[in-house]
Amino acid sequence: MSFAVAMIIWSVLTYGHFVNPLLLPTPMDVARALMRMFSDATFLNDIGVSVYRVMLGFLFSVLLGVPLGILIGTFKSAEAFLEPINDFFRYIPVPAFLPLIILWIGLGNANQISTIFVGTFFQLVLMVADSVSRVAKELIEAGQTIYGNNSRILILHVLIPSTAPDIYDNMRIAVGWAWSYLVLAEVVAANSGIGHTIVQAQRFVQTDVVIAGIIVVGLLGLALDYIFKILFPFFFPWSEKGKA
Amino acid sequence: MLHLENVSKTYTLSTGYVISAVEDITLDVNQGELLVLLGPSGSGKTTLLRMIAGLENPSTGAIYLDGTKVDSSGPVPGFGMIFQAYTAFPWLTVKENIAFALKYKQGVSRTHRQDIVQHLLNLVGLSNFADAFPKELSGGMKQRVALARALAAHPKVLLMDEPFNALDALTRAQLQSEFVKLSNQDHFTTLFVTHDLDEALLIADRIILLTPRPGRILAEYNLRSCLRNRDRHDSRFLELRQEIYSAMSDSVEIAVSGEAR
Protein backbone atom coordinates (compact mmCIF):
# COMPACT_ATOMS: atom_id res chain seq x y z
CA MET A 1 0.00 0.00 0.00
CA SER A 2 2.64 2.50 1.08
CA PHE A 3 4.74 1.32 -1.86
CA ALA A 4 1.84 2.03 -4.21
CA VAL A 5 1.45 5.58 -2.90
CA ALA A 6 5.18 6.23 -3.38
CA MET A 7 4.94 4.86 -6.94
CA ILE A 8 1.96 7.08 -7.76
CA ILE A 9 3.68 10.23 -6.47
CA TRP A 10 6.82 9.30 -8.37
CA SER A 11 4.86 8.70 -11.59
CA VAL A 12 2.93 11.97 -11.31
CA LEU A 13 6.13 13.95 -10.71
CA THR A 14 8.02 12.41 -13.62
CA TYR A 15 5.38 11.78 -16.30
CA GLY A 16 3.84 15.18 -15.53
CA HIS A 17 7.24 16.80 -16.24
CA PHE A 18 7.26 18.50 -12.87
CA VAL A 19 10.92 17.65 -12.28
CA ASN A 20 14.09 17.57 -14.34
CA PRO A 21 14.32 14.01 -15.79
CA LEU A 22 18.09 14.21 -15.33
CA LEU A 23 17.56 14.34 -11.54
CA LEU A 24 14.51 12.09 -11.27
CA PRO A 25 13.96 9.66 -14.15
CA THR A 26 10.62 7.92 -14.73
CA PRO A 27 9.84 4.54 -13.15
CA MET A 28 10.12 3.01 -16.63
CA ASP A 29 13.65 4.41 -17.06
CA VAL A 30 14.68 2.91 -13.76
CA ALA A 31 13.06 -0.42 -14.65
CA ARG A 32 15.00 -0.42 -17.91
CA ALA A 33 18.20 0.42 -16.04
CA LEU A 34 17.50 -2.52 -13.70
CA MET A 35 17.04 -4.87 -16.68
CA ARG A 36 20.27 -3.64 -18.23
CA MET A 37 22.16 -4.05 -14.95
CA PHE A 38 20.91 -7.55 -14.30
CA SER A 39 21.90 -8.70 -17.76
CA ASP A 40 25.41 -7.38 -17.12
CA ALA A 41 27.85 -9.84 -15.55
CA THR A 42 29.81 -7.04 -13.85
CA PHE A 43 26.80 -5.95 -11.84
CA LEU A 44 25.92 -9.51 -10.84
CA ASN A 45 29.51 -9.84 -9.75
CA ASP A 46 29.14 -6.59 -7.75
CA ILE A 47 26.12 -8.02 -5.95
CA GLY A 48 28.06 -11.19 -5.18
CA VAL A 49 30.98 -9.16 -3.82
CA SER A 50 28.67 -7.04 -1.64
CA VAL A 51 26.86 -10.04 -0.20
CA TYR A 52 30.18 -11.75 0.47
CA ARG A 53 31.43 -8.68 2.38
CA VAL A 54 28.27 -8.40 4.47
CA MET A 55 28.35 -12.07 5.37
CA LEU A 56 31.99 -12.02 6.39
CA GLY A 57 31.80 -8.74 8.32
CA PHE A 58 28.65 -9.90 10.07
CA LEU A 59 30.15 -13.32 10.78
CA PHE A 60 33.21 -11.85 12.51
CA SER A 61 30.99 -9.50 14.43
CA VAL A 62 28.80 -12.38 15.65
CA LEU A 63 31.69 -14.74 16.39
CA LEU A 64 33.34 -12.19 18.66
CA GLY A 65 30.41 -10.04 19.75
CA VAL A 66 27.98 -12.72 20.94
CA PRO A 67 30.41 -14.47 23.34
CA LEU A 68 31.63 -11.11 24.63
CA GLY A 69 28.05 -9.92 25.13
CA ILE A 70 27.22 -13.09 27.03
CA LEU A 71 30.29 -12.57 29.21
CA ILE A 72 29.34 -8.96 29.99
CA GLY A 73 25.71 -9.85 30.60
CA THR A 74 26.60 -12.68 32.94
CA PHE A 75 29.49 -11.51 35.05
CA LYS A 76 29.47 -8.25 36.96
CA SER A 77 33.27 -8.11 36.81
CA ALA A 78 33.32 -8.45 33.03
CA GLU A 79 30.67 -5.76 32.81
CA ALA A 80 32.67 -3.34 34.95
CA PHE A 81 35.82 -4.00 32.95
CA LEU A 82 34.54 -4.14 29.38
CA GLU A 83 31.38 -2.10 29.18
CA PRO A 84 32.96 1.38 29.45
CA ILE A 85 35.37 0.75 26.59
CA ASN A 86 32.64 -0.85 24.52
CA ASP A 87 30.42 2.17 25.10
CA PHE A 88 33.24 4.51 24.12
CA PHE A 89 33.65 2.86 20.72
CA ARG A 90 29.91 2.46 20.33
CA TYR A 91 29.42 6.21 20.47
CA ILE A 92 31.94 6.97 17.74
CA PRO A 93 30.14 7.25 14.40
CA VAL A 94 31.44 4.70 11.92
CA PRO A 95 32.43 7.30 9.25
CA ALA A 96 34.97 8.63 11.77
CA PHE A 97 36.80 5.31 11.48
CA LEU A 98 36.84 5.26 7.68
CA PRO A 99 40.03 7.32 7.11
CA LEU A 100 41.90 5.09 9.54
CA ILE A 101 40.54 1.94 7.91
CA ILE A 102 41.60 3.22 4.48
CA LEU A 103 45.09 4.07 5.77
CA TRP A 104 45.57 0.80 7.58
CA ILE A 105 43.76 -1.63 5.35
CA GLY A 106 43.42 -0.06 1.92
CA LEU A 107 40.45 -0.33 -0.41
CA GLY A 108 40.08 -4.10 -0.82
CA ASN A 109 37.46 -6.41 0.65
CA ALA A 110 39.11 -6.14 4.06
CA ASN A 111 38.19 -2.45 4.10
CA GLN A 112 34.44 -3.01 3.82
CA ILE A 113 34.51 -6.06 6.06
CA SER A 114 36.28 -4.04 8.76
CA THR A 115 33.82 -1.19 8.40
CA ILE A 116 30.90 -3.58 8.86
CA PHE A 117 32.63 -5.12 11.84
CA VAL A 118 33.26 -1.76 13.50
CA GLY A 119 29.70 -0.67 12.78
CA THR A 120 27.99 -3.75 14.19
CA PHE A 121 30.32 -5.33 16.74
CA PHE A 122 30.02 -2.80 19.57
CA GLN A 123 26.26 -2.51 19.15
CA LEU A 124 25.85 -6.26 19.09
CA VAL A 125 27.88 -6.67 22.28
CA LEU A 126 25.60 -4.22 24.05
CA MET A 127 22.38 -5.79 22.77
CA VAL A 128 23.46 -9.33 23.63
CA ALA A 129 24.67 -8.25 27.08
CA ASP A 130 21.30 -6.64 27.68
CA SER A 131 19.35 -9.69 26.47
CA VAL A 132 21.42 -11.99 28.64
CA SER A 133 21.11 -9.84 31.75
CA ARG A 134 17.32 -10.00 31.40
CA VAL A 135 17.26 -13.81 31.51
CA ALA A 136 14.40 -15.17 33.62
CA LYS A 137 15.97 -15.39 37.08
CA GLU A 138 13.77 -18.30 38.18
CA LEU A 139 15.06 -20.48 35.34
CA ILE A 140 18.64 -19.94 36.49
CA GLU A 141 17.58 -20.63 40.08
CA ALA A 142 15.82 -23.82 39.04
CA GLY A 143 19.10 -24.89 37.46
CA GLN A 144 21.00 -23.90 40.60
CA THR A 145 18.82 -26.03 42.83
CA ILE A 146 19.81 -29.02 40.71
CA TYR A 147 23.46 -28.36 39.93
CA GLY A 148 24.49 -25.86 42.59
CA ASN A 149 26.82 -23.14 41.43
CA ASN A 150 28.25 -25.03 38.48
CA SER A 151 28.50 -22.00 36.21
CA ARG A 152 29.61 -24.02 33.19
CA ILE A 153 26.37 -26.04 33.21
CA LEU A 154 24.25 -23.03 34.11
CA ILE A 155 25.65 -20.87 31.30
CA LEU A 156 25.82 -23.52 28.59
CA HIS A 157 22.61 -25.35 29.35
CA VAL A 158 20.32 -22.78 30.94
CA LEU A 159 21.40 -19.21 30.25
CA ILE A 160 22.36 -19.57 26.58
CA PRO A 161 19.42 -21.71 25.42
CA SER A 162 16.93 -19.53 27.26
CA THR A 163 18.27 -16.29 25.75
CA ALA A 164 19.09 -17.72 22.31
CA PRO A 165 15.91 -16.39 20.63
CA ASP A 166 16.66 -12.88 21.91
CA ILE A 167 20.26 -13.14 20.74
CA TYR A 168 18.97 -14.29 17.37
CA ASP A 169 16.77 -11.18 17.21
CA ASN A 170 19.79 -9.04 18.13
CA MET A 171 21.63 -10.62 15.22
CA ARG A 172 18.74 -9.89 12.92
CA ILE A 173 18.93 -6.19 13.86
CA ALA A 174 22.71 -6.20 13.48
CA VAL A 175 22.57 -7.70 10.00
CA GLY A 176 20.44 -4.75 8.88
CA TRP A 177 23.10 -2.36 10.15
CA ALA A 178 25.80 -4.48 8.52
CA TRP A 179 24.06 -3.88 5.22
CA SER A 180 23.98 -0.09 5.74
CA TYR A 181 27.65 0.07 6.68
CA LEU A 182 28.56 -2.04 3.67
CA VAL A 183 26.98 0.48 1.34
CA LEU A 184 28.63 3.33 3.26
CA ALA A 185 32.06 1.71 2.90
CA GLU A 186 31.50 0.96 -0.78
CA VAL A 187 30.33 4.48 -1.53
CA VAL A 188 33.33 6.05 0.19
CA ALA A 189 36.10 3.72 -0.83
CA ALA A 190 35.82 0.60 -2.95
CA ASN A 191 36.67 -0.73 -6.38
CA SER A 192 33.61 -2.94 -6.65
CA GLY A 193 30.26 -3.68 -5.07
CA ILE A 194 26.77 -2.22 -5.35
CA GLY A 195 27.74 0.97 -3.50
CA HIS A 196 30.63 1.44 -5.90
CA THR A 197 28.25 1.05 -8.86
CA ILE A 198 26.00 3.75 -7.41
CA VAL A 199 28.88 6.21 -6.99
CA GLN A 200 30.17 5.54 -10.50
CA ALA A 201 26.70 6.19 -11.92
CA GLN A 202 26.48 9.41 -9.94
CA ARG A 203 29.75 10.62 -11.54
CA PHE A 204 28.22 10.18 -15.00
CA VAL A 205 24.83 11.55 -13.88
CA GLN A 206 23.13 8.21 -14.65
CA THR A 207 20.37 8.89 -12.14
CA ASP A 208 18.35 5.89 -13.32
CA VAL A 209 21.24 3.59 -12.41
CA VAL A 210 21.70 5.35 -9.05
CA ILE A 211 18.05 4.78 -8.19
CA ALA A 212 18.12 1.22 -9.53
CA GLY A 213 21.17 0.56 -7.33
CA ILE A 214 19.38 1.94 -4.27
CA ILE A 215 16.38 -0.30 -5.01
CA VAL A 216 18.63 -3.35 -5.28
CA VAL A 217 20.25 -2.45 -1.96
CA GLY A 218 16.83 -2.11 -0.34
CA LEU A 219 15.49 -5.36 -1.77
CA LEU A 220 18.56 -7.36 -0.77
CA GLY A 221 18.36 -5.92 2.75
CA LEU A 222 14.70 -6.86 2.91
CA ALA A 223 15.49 -10.37 1.67
CA LEU A 224 18.20 -10.79 4.29
CA ASP A 225 15.82 -9.72 7.04
CA TYR A 226 13.13 -12.03 5.69
CA ILE A 227 15.48 -14.99 5.74
CA PHE A 228 16.18 -14.33 9.42
CA LYS A 229 12.47 -14.06 10.09
CA ILE A 230 11.37 -17.27 8.41
CA LEU A 231 14.21 -19.28 9.94
CA PHE A 232 13.18 -18.31 13.51
CA PRO A 233 10.58 -21.07 14.01
CA PHE A 234 13.03 -23.51 12.45
CA PHE A 235 15.69 -22.74 15.06
CA PHE A 236 13.31 -22.15 17.99
CA PRO A 237 10.25 -24.37 17.58
CA TRP A 238 9.74 -24.15 21.34
CA SER A 239 9.51 -20.37 21.55
CA GLU A 240 6.20 -18.72 22.38
CA LYS A 241 6.99 -16.17 19.70
CA GLY A 242 7.14 -18.92 17.07
CA LYS A 243 3.60 -20.04 17.92
CA ALA A 244 1.64 -20.34 14.71
CA MET B 1 16.99 -34.69 58.59
CA LEU B 2 16.85 -30.95 57.91
CA HIS B 3 17.52 -28.77 60.90
CA LEU B 4 17.28 -24.99 61.15
CA GLU B 5 18.88 -23.33 64.14
CA ASN B 6 18.03 -19.77 65.11
CA VAL B 7 17.83 -18.68 61.50
CA SER B 8 17.22 -14.97 60.97
CA LYS B 9 17.28 -12.78 57.90
CA THR B 10 17.41 -9.01 57.75
CA TYR B 11 17.57 -6.78 54.71
CA THR B 12 19.02 -3.31 54.61
CA LEU B 13 17.02 -1.02 52.37
CA SER B 14 18.70 1.63 50.26
CA THR B 15 17.40 4.20 52.74
CA GLY B 16 19.46 2.51 55.43
CA TYR B 17 16.36 1.17 57.14
CA VAL B 18 16.81 -2.40 58.30
CA ILE B 19 13.88 -4.77 57.99
CA SER B 20 13.65 -8.18 59.49
CA ALA B 21 12.11 -10.82 57.23
CA VAL B 22 12.59 -13.92 59.34
CA GLU B 23 13.43 -14.02 63.01
CA ASP B 24 14.93 -16.78 65.08
CA ILE B 25 13.48 -19.82 63.36
CA THR B 26 14.40 -23.18 64.83
CA LEU B 27 12.74 -26.20 63.32
CA ASP B 28 13.28 -29.76 62.16
CA VAL B 29 11.96 -31.50 59.11
CA ASN B 30 11.86 -35.21 59.81
CA GLN B 31 12.56 -37.98 57.35
CA GLY B 32 9.52 -38.81 55.22
CA GLU B 33 7.46 -35.98 56.61
CA LEU B 34 5.39 -33.40 54.78
CA LEU B 35 5.88 -30.23 56.77
CA VAL B 36 3.90 -27.17 55.79
CA LEU B 37 5.05 -23.66 56.62
CA LEU B 38 1.85 -21.70 56.78
CA GLY B 39 1.78 -17.94 57.00
CA PRO B 40 0.26 -14.81 55.54
CA SER B 41 2.23 -12.84 52.99
CA GLY B 42 5.17 -11.09 54.57
CA SER B 43 5.92 -13.93 56.95
CA GLY B 44 9.19 -14.73 55.20
CA LYS B 45 8.15 -18.24 54.10
CA THR B 46 9.73 -17.94 50.70
CA THR B 47 12.85 -16.33 52.13
CA LEU B 48 13.20 -19.26 54.49
CA LEU B 49 12.92 -21.75 51.66
CA ARG B 50 15.39 -19.84 49.53
CA MET B 51 17.88 -19.79 52.38
CA ILE B 52 17.61 -23.55 52.76
CA ALA B 53 18.24 -23.99 49.04
CA GLY B 54 21.23 -21.68 49.30
CA LEU B 55 19.71 -19.07 46.97
CA GLU B 56 20.06 -16.59 49.83
CA ASN B 57 22.22 -16.54 52.94
CA PRO B 58 20.84 -16.36 56.45
CA SER B 59 21.97 -13.27 58.37
CA THR B 60 22.47 -15.34 61.49
CA GLY B 61 21.86 -18.95 62.45
CA ALA B 62 22.67 -22.15 60.64
CA ILE B 63 21.04 -24.80 58.49
CA TYR B 64 22.00 -28.46 58.73
CA LEU B 65 21.19 -31.24 56.30
CA ASP B 66 21.80 -34.72 57.73
CA GLY B 67 23.98 -33.23 60.40
CA THR B 68 26.27 -31.31 58.05
CA LYS B 69 26.08 -27.57 57.97
CA VAL B 70 24.79 -26.28 54.66
CA ASP B 71 27.53 -24.21 53.08
CA SER B 72 26.08 -20.77 52.70
CA SER B 73 28.43 -19.68 49.94
CA GLY B 74 26.01 -20.55 47.17
CA PRO B 75 23.17 -22.68 45.90
CA VAL B 76 23.20 -26.20 47.22
CA PRO B 77 22.39 -29.30 45.27
CA GLY B 78 20.52 -31.95 47.26
CA PHE B 79 17.31 -29.95 47.48
CA GLY B 80 14.69 -30.18 44.81
CA MET B 81 12.92 -26.88 44.63
CA ILE B 82 9.61 -26.19 42.96
CA PHE B 83 8.80 -22.56 42.44
CA GLN B 84 5.58 -20.65 42.22
CA ALA B 85 6.59 -19.42 38.76
CA TYR B 86 6.71 -22.00 35.98
CA THR B 87 10.29 -23.13 35.65
CA ALA B 88 10.00 -25.97 33.16
CA PHE B 89 12.67 -25.03 30.64
CA PRO B 90 10.77 -23.88 27.55
CA TRP B 91 13.48 -25.01 25.10
CA LEU B 92 13.36 -28.61 26.28
CA THR B 93 10.61 -31.14 25.76
CA VAL B 94 8.93 -32.67 28.80
CA LYS B 95 11.20 -35.69 28.57
CA GLU B 96 14.31 -33.56 28.16
CA ASN B 97 13.31 -31.35 31.07
CA ILE B 98 13.19 -34.34 33.39
CA ALA B 99 16.41 -35.75 31.95
CA PHE B 100 18.13 -32.39 32.52
CA ALA B 101 18.47 -33.17 36.21
CA LEU B 102 20.54 -36.28 35.39
CA LYS B 103 22.20 -35.44 32.10
CA TYR B 104 25.18 -33.52 33.45
CA LYS B 105 25.73 -35.73 36.48
CA GLN B 106 28.52 -38.26 36.40
CA GLY B 107 27.86 -41.94 36.81
CA VAL B 108 24.36 -42.03 35.39
CA SER B 109 24.30 -44.19 32.28
CA ARG B 110 22.13 -43.29 29.32
CA THR B 111 19.86 -46.30 29.70
CA HIS B 112 19.50 -45.75 33.43
CA ARG B 113 18.61 -42.13 32.76
CA GLN B 114 15.96 -43.15 30.24
CA ASP B 115 14.48 -45.58 32.76
CA ILE B 116 14.24 -42.92 35.45
CA VAL B 117 12.70 -40.43 33.01
CA GLN B 118 10.12 -42.98 31.87
CA HIS B 119 9.28 -43.86 35.47
CA LEU B 120 8.80 -40.19 36.41
CA LEU B 121 6.74 -39.50 33.30
CA ASN B 122 4.37 -42.23 34.41
CA LEU B 123 4.44 -41.05 37.99
CA VAL B 124 3.30 -37.52 37.16
CA GLY B 125 0.98 -38.71 34.40
CA LEU B 126 2.73 -37.08 31.45
CA SER B 127 3.74 -40.12 29.37
CA ASN B 128 1.57 -38.92 26.51
CA PHE B 129 3.30 -35.56 26.51
CA ALA B 130 6.91 -36.78 26.64
CA ASP B 131 7.86 -34.94 23.46
CA ALA B 132 5.77 -31.81 23.94
CA PHE B 133 7.32 -28.42 24.64
CA PRO B 134 6.15 -26.54 27.76
CA LYS B 135 4.36 -23.95 25.60
CA GLU B 136 1.96 -26.72 24.61
CA LEU B 137 1.15 -27.58 28.24
CA SER B 138 -1.33 -26.21 30.75
CA GLY B 139 -0.11 -24.60 33.97
CA GLY B 140 -0.80 -27.73 35.98
CA MET B 141 1.17 -29.84 33.54
CA LYS B 142 4.09 -27.42 33.68
CA GLN B 143 4.19 -27.83 37.46
CA ARG B 144 4.12 -31.61 37.04
CA VAL B 145 7.17 -31.29 34.82
CA ALA B 146 8.88 -29.17 37.47
CA LEU B 147 8.04 -31.77 40.11
CA ALA B 148 9.30 -34.64 37.97
CA ARG B 149 12.51 -32.78 37.21
CA ALA B 150 13.07 -32.05 40.89
CA LEU B 151 12.45 -35.70 41.76
CA ALA B 152 14.83 -36.87 39.03
CA ALA B 153 17.71 -35.25 40.90
CA HIS B 154 16.80 -37.54 43.79
CA PRO B 155 16.71 -34.75 46.37
CA LYS B 156 16.95 -35.42 50.08
CA VAL B 157 14.36 -32.74 50.72
CA LEU B 158 11.75 -31.31 48.36
CA LEU B 159 11.24 -27.59 48.80
CA MET B 160 7.94 -26.36 47.44
CA ASP B 161 7.25 -22.66 47.24
CA GLU B 162 3.50 -22.23 46.76
CA PRO B 163 3.75 -24.39 43.65
CA PHE B 164 0.01 -24.61 43.00
CA ASN B 165 -0.75 -20.92 43.44
CA ALA B 166 -1.03 -20.00 39.79
CA LEU B 167 -3.47 -22.83 39.06
CA ASP B 168 -7.23 -22.77 38.86
CA ALA B 169 -9.14 -24.26 41.80
CA LEU B 170 -9.92 -27.63 40.24
CA THR B 171 -6.45 -28.29 38.87
CA ARG B 172 -5.09 -27.17 42.19
CA ALA B 173 -7.20 -29.62 44.17
CA GLN B 174 -6.26 -32.39 41.80
CA LEU B 175 -2.55 -31.71 42.06
CA GLN B 176 -2.77 -31.46 45.84
CA SER B 177 -4.33 -34.87 46.21
CA GLU B 178 -1.99 -36.39 43.66
CA PHE B 179 0.98 -34.95 45.47
CA VAL B 180 -0.16 -36.34 48.82
CA LYS B 181 -0.63 -39.74 47.21
CA LEU B 182 2.84 -39.68 45.68
CA SER B 183 4.33 -38.40 48.87
CA ASN B 184 2.81 -41.19 50.97
CA GLN B 185 3.79 -43.81 48.47
CA ASP B 186 7.42 -42.74 47.96
CA HIS B 187 8.02 -41.19 51.40
CA PHE B 188 9.41 -37.86 50.21
CA THR B 189 10.66 -35.46 52.81
CA THR B 190 8.97 -32.20 51.93
CA LEU B 191 8.95 -28.65 53.17
CA PHE B 192 5.94 -26.99 51.63
CA VAL B 193 5.24 -23.29 51.87
CA THR B 194 1.75 -21.83 51.47
CA HIS B 195 -0.54 -19.08 52.67
CA ASP B 196 -3.58 -21.23 51.98
CA LEU B 197 -4.95 -22.78 55.18
CA ASP B 198 -7.10 -25.34 53.37
CA GLU B 199 -4.19 -26.48 51.29
CA ALA B 200 -2.12 -26.88 54.44
CA LEU B 201 -4.87 -28.88 56.18
CA LEU B 202 -5.29 -31.17 53.20
CA ILE B 203 -1.69 -32.11 52.65
CA ALA B 204 0.33 -31.56 55.83
CA ASP B 205 1.61 -34.09 58.31
CA ARG B 206 2.56 -31.14 60.43
CA ILE B 207 1.88 -27.42 60.14
CA ILE B 208 4.11 -24.67 61.43
CA LEU B 209 2.32 -21.36 61.62
CA LEU B 210 4.37 -18.21 61.03
CA THR B 211 3.64 -14.64 62.04
CA PRO B 212 3.86 -11.80 59.54
CA ARG B 213 6.74 -9.30 59.46
CA PRO B 214 9.02 -10.60 60.79
CA GLY B 215 8.31 -14.30 60.39
CA ARG B 216 8.47 -16.09 63.71
CA ILE B 217 7.08 -19.46 64.72
CA LEU B 218 3.69 -18.89 66.30
CA ALA B 219 2.34 -22.38 66.72
CA GLU B 220 2.73 -25.95 65.59
CA TYR B 221 0.01 -28.47 64.77
CA ASN B 222 0.64 -32.15 64.36
CA LEU B 223 -2.06 -33.31 61.99
CA ARG B 224 -0.99 -36.92 61.86
CA SER B 225 -1.92 -37.42 65.47
CA CYS B 226 -4.99 -35.21 65.68
CA LEU B 227 -6.70 -35.77 62.33
CA ARG B 228 -7.96 -39.18 61.37
CA ASN B 229 -9.16 -38.20 57.93
CA ARG B 230 -8.88 -35.20 55.67
CA ASP B 231 -12.59 -34.86 55.13
CA ARG B 232 -13.45 -31.18 54.90
CA HIS B 233 -16.75 -31.92 56.71
CA ASP B 234 -15.27 -33.88 59.59
CA SER B 235 -15.95 -32.04 62.85
CA ARG B 236 -12.38 -32.30 64.16
CA PHE B 237 -11.12 -30.97 60.82
CA LEU B 238 -13.43 -27.97 61.04
CA GLU B 239 -12.49 -27.32 64.65
CA LEU B 240 -8.80 -27.33 63.83
CA ARG B 241 -9.41 -25.13 60.81
CA GLN B 242 -11.20 -22.63 63.02
CA GLU B 243 -8.44 -22.74 65.59
CA ILE B 244 -5.63 -22.10 63.10
CA TYR B 245 -7.69 -19.48 61.30
CA SER B 246 -8.18 -17.45 64.50
CA ALA B 247 -4.51 -17.72 65.38
CA MET B 248 -3.58 -16.54 61.89
CA SER B 249 -5.95 -13.61 61.78
CA ASP B 250 -4.97 -12.50 65.30
CA SER B 251 -1.32 -12.43 64.28
CA VAL B 252 -2.11 -10.42 61.19
CA GLU B 253 -4.12 -7.89 63.20
CA ILE B 254 -1.32 -7.47 65.70
CA ALA B 255 1.16 -6.97 62.87
CA VAL B 256 -1.06 -4.42 61.15
CA SER B 257 -1.68 -2.41 64.34
CA GLY B 258 2.04 -2.61 65.04
CA GLU B 259 2.81 -1.10 61.67
CA ALA B 260 0.20 1.59 62.17
CA ARG B 261 1.96 2.70 65.29
The answer to whether the CB atoms of B81 and A236 lie below 8 A apart is: no
- Taking the CA of residue A95 as centre, how many other CA atoms within 13 Å lie in the half-sphere pointing to its CB? 5
A and B: number of Cβ contacts within 8 A = 73
Mean pLDDT of B153-162: 90
Is there a domain that residue A11 lies in? Answer: no
Query: Residue B225: is its pLDDT beyond 70?
Result: no
Is there a domain that residue A93 lies in? Answer: yes
The answer to whether the CB atoms of B80 and A146 lie below 8 A apart is: yes
DSSP code per residue over B103-143: HTSTT--HHHHHHHHHHHHHHTT-GGGTT--GGGS-HHHHH
Domain with A224 in it: 26-34+44-242
The CATH number that applies at residue A203 is: 1.10.3720.10
pLDDT of residue A3: 84
- A159 interface with B at CB cutoff 8 Å: no
Averaged over successive runs of 10 residues, the pLDDT of chain A (244 residues) comes to 88 88 87 90 92 94 95 89 89 88 87 92 94 91 87 92 94 92 88 90 90 92 92 91 54
pLDDT band at B198 (very low <50, low <70, confident <90, very high): confident
Nearest to A142 among B76, B77, B83 (CB): B83
Q: Which chain B residues contact residue A162 at CB under 8 A?
A: 89-91
The answer to whether the CB atoms of B77 and A236 lie below 8 A apart is: no
Nearest to A147 among B77, B90, B146 (CB): B77
DSSP, collapsed to helix, strand or coil, labels residue B209 as strand
Mean pLDDT of B197-207: 88
The answer to whether the CB atoms of B75 and A148 lie below 8 A apart is: yes
Q: What is the pLDDT of residues B6-47, one digit of tens each?
A: 888 888 888 888 888 888 889 999 888 899 999 887 788 888
- A156 interface with B at CB cutoff 8 Å: no
Nearest to B90 among A144, A153, A238 (CB): A238
Number of domain units in chain A: 1
Is there a domain that residue A4 lies in? Answer: no
- A157 interface with B at CB cutoff 8 Å: yes
CA distances from B126 to B121, B138, B144, B173 (A): 5, 12, 8, 18
pLDDT of residue A209: 92
Q: Report the distance separating Cα B19 and Cα B10, nearest Å.
A: 6
* pLDDT-above-90 percentage for chain B: 22
Closest to A94 (Cα-Cα) out of A126, A128, A117: A117
Closest to A159 (Cα-Cα) out of A191, A127, A136, A178: A136
Nearest to B153 among A138, A146, A236 (CB): A146
What's the complex ipTM? 0.85
Closest to B99 (Cα-Cα) out of B88, B70, A240: B88
Is there a domain that residue A187 lies in? Answer: yes
Is there a domain that residue A19 lies in? Answer: no
Query: Closest Cα of chain B to A119: distance in Å?
Result: 32
Is there a domain that residue A1 lies in? Answer: no
The answer to whether the CB atoms of A153 and B104 lie below 8 A apart is: yes
Is there a domain that residue A119 lies in? Answer: yes
Nearest to B135 among A139, A145, A243 (CB): A243
Long-range contacts of B135-141 (CB under 8 A, 24+ apart): B135/A238, B135/A239, B135/A240, B135/A243, B135/B90, B137/B88, B137/B94, B138/B171, B139/B86, B139/B166, B139/B167, B139/B168, B139/B171, B140/B167, B140/B171, B140/B172, B140/B174, B140/B175
The answer to whether the CB atoms of A139 and B133 lie below 8 A apart is: no
pLDDT of residue A228: 92
Is there a domain that residue A154 lies in? Answer: yes
pLDDT band at B228 (very low <50, low <70, confident <90, very high): low
pTM confidence score: 0.84
Q: Report the distance separating Cα A137 and Cα A62, nearest Å.
A: 25
